[in-house]
Chains A and B, each alone.
Chain A
Amino acid sequence: MKGLLIKDFYVSLRTGWLDFVVTVVLGGIIAFGGARPFVFLPAAYLMMILPMTLLAIDERAKWNTYADALPITRTQVVAEKYILTLILSAFSAVVLAVSALIAMINPMLGDERPDLSSFLSTLGCFPLELALTSVCIPFVFKFGFDKGRIAYMFACAMAGVGLGVFTSWNVKGAPNINIPANILLITVAVSAAVFAASWALSTVLYKTREF
């Protein structure tokens, strides 16, 4: 498992560096530019779909076939991608938290400073994005990236529509949306269930796949 994570760490540094840059830049815009925390959601989504990109790279390289010849189980191959998704989500959550914290105490922002509930509501959208990613991953494990990307594109479109509806996409003028706590809790619970179900389904599908 550790070997798989190290592999994806090396590969993502080479191929996904722009995603990391976008994440940090958006964090900077929130911390020092006065943008609302909601602006960060595309970066969070980029981080969550990075494992999908890595799956595509694995497939192109025929890593999956090679991994079958190594002392790695298919359960581990699947688990690693889900754990990686969580690690990258946590990374973007940390960047967001640090940015929001800086913004909240940044005297230069004056009235533009976000309040805590705005930050928490943005963080509350993470599970929703995670659920969207979770819907796509089993398709990729079953059919490969070329066919699975149809589900991936559909989820991206859904995410885009969702973001548009929530934010009206006005960076500075976007309201400090406050999602009620009970809705947030339900979102987290449903997303966790979707994530767990996706993990289990991917494991079953990948175990029966023949290369």
Chain B
Amino acid sequence: MDNAIEIKNLTKNYKDFSLENLSLTLPSGCIMGLIGENGAGKSTTLKLILNMIKRDGGEIKIMGRDNRESEKLLKEDIGVVPDEIGLPTVLTAKQVGKIMANIFKNWDSEAYAQYLEKLSVPEKKKYSELSRGMKMKLGIAIAMSHHPKLLLLDEPTSGLDPVVRDEVVDMFNDFTRDESHSILISSHIVSDLEKLCDYVAFIHKGRLMLCEEKDRLKEEYRIIRGAGEVVSKVPESAVIGKKVSPYGVEAIVHKSAVPAGVEVGTVDIEQLFIFMARKEG
């Protein structure tokens, strides 16, 4: 299988923040979720992939090609939903469609009209008159109407109500039914990522903590809840993270290291990330 994105030792230094040696691979046909706290480096990673900012080291390949070569051509195949859709406030969705039809070679006006209808985005309202959720939906319609092979999404579901969020998640799932389509998505709403993603990557303070298949992660780790002595039965090296409260201890551990007889629960991605980030400090 080809890879949609291959990143090796990606580095970017700012005065007060560094993205350090980030390496990850997104296989074609898959969805990868980037999870991290605010300022962890998720948006920086997306900007570097799009060559919007210059990297200080490392390699980025998109669909097998260096992202700096034939950049314009590559972007014909990429749909982007940034955290803020940068459209001038006086434009209407209809006008945006006409603009994009002259920017993208593969722009499909019919598909755009269908997305607007499906997402209930009014065609004639000025961008400034749209709610944050509507703006995001317009951004999603733009990103998907030129038949991209890769979607890069930065917090695309934020500001959407649960019903629309669910619809959007379904749209993204439909998109990856085609094996040549892939998505890299960053979101704070980990429950959405859990529904969507095949892979998850945790970024914390500019460093990649892990990049793994979601199902494997969920299979590999377990949560233990109870008194301190229960957790102490597990070897320290197998404990991923621990939270002590007056009511007891919660710990995420490697499933293989849990002694027989200790009661464990399945772990969700959000818990795993929080515990790992806490351990890293």
The verdict on A72 contacting B99 (CB below 8 Å), with A61-B87, A210-B53 known, is no
Closest CB of chain B to A54's CB: distance in Å?
9
Does B72 lie at the interface of the complex (its beta carbon under 8 Å from any beta carbon of A)?
yes
Kindly list chain A residues whose C-beta atoms are within 8 Å of the C-beta of B54.
210
User: How many angstroms between the C-alpha atoms of A69 and B86 in the bound complex?
Assistant: 10
| B86 and A72 contacting across the interface, CB-CB below 8 Å | no
Q: Which residues of chain A are near B105, meaning CB under 8 Å? A: 71
CA distance A6 to B87 in the complex (A): 13
Query: Could you say which residues of chain A place their CB within 8 Å of the CB of B50?
Result: 68-69
Q: How far is the CA of A73 from the CA of B72 in the complex (A)?
A: 7
Segment of B77-85, B160-168, B203-211, B215-223 in the binding face:
B77-85
Please give, as numbers and ranges, the residues of chain A lying within 8 Å of B71 by CB-CB distance. 73
Residue of B nearest to A69 (CB): B80
B257 contacts chain A at the CB level, 8 A cutoff: no
Sort chain B's interface into a size bin: 20 to 34
Taking each of A7, A66, A69, A70, which has the highest tally of chain B beta carbons within 10 Å of its own beta carbon? A69
Does A57 have its Cβ within 8 Å of any Cβ on chain B?
yes
**From A207, which residue of chain B is reached at the shortest CB distance?**
B54
In-complex Cβ contact of A58 among B73, B88, B104 (8 A): B88
Cβ of B76 under 8 Å from chain A: yes
Q: Is A11 an interface residue (CB 8 A)?
A: yes
Contacts of B76 in A (CB 8 A): 71
Closest CB of chain B to A98's CB: distance in Å? 29
Residues of the B chain whose Cβ atoms lie less than 8 Å from the Cβ of A11: 88, 90-91
Interface residues of B in 102-117 (CB under 8 A from A): 102-105
**Which of B52, B88, B103 meets A211, CB within 8 Å?**
B52
Q: Which residue of A lies closest to B104 (CB)?
A: A71
Render A81-118 as a binary contact track against B, CB cut-off 8 A, 1 for contact: 00000000000000000000000000000000000000
Instruction: Tell me the chain A residues, 133-178 only, with Cβ under 8 Å from chain B.
Output: none
Q: Which of A23-80 contact B (CB under 8 A)?
A: 57-58, 61-73
Instruction: Determine the distance from Cα of A70 to Cα of B142 in the docked complex, in whole angstroms.
Output: 10
A63 adjacent to B52 (CB under 8 Å): no
B98 within 8 A of A: yes
Q: Are A64 and B86 in contact (CB under 8 A)?
A: yes
Q: What's the nearest-Cβ distance from chain B to residue A94, in Å? A: 25
What are 20 pairs between A and B in contact, CB < 8 Å? A3-B99, A3-B101, A10-B91, A11-B88, A14-B90, A15-B90, A58-B88, A61-B87, A61-B89, A62-B84, A64-B86, A65-B82, A66-B82, A67-B86, A68-B52, A70-B80, A70-B103, A70-B104, A71-B75, A72-B72
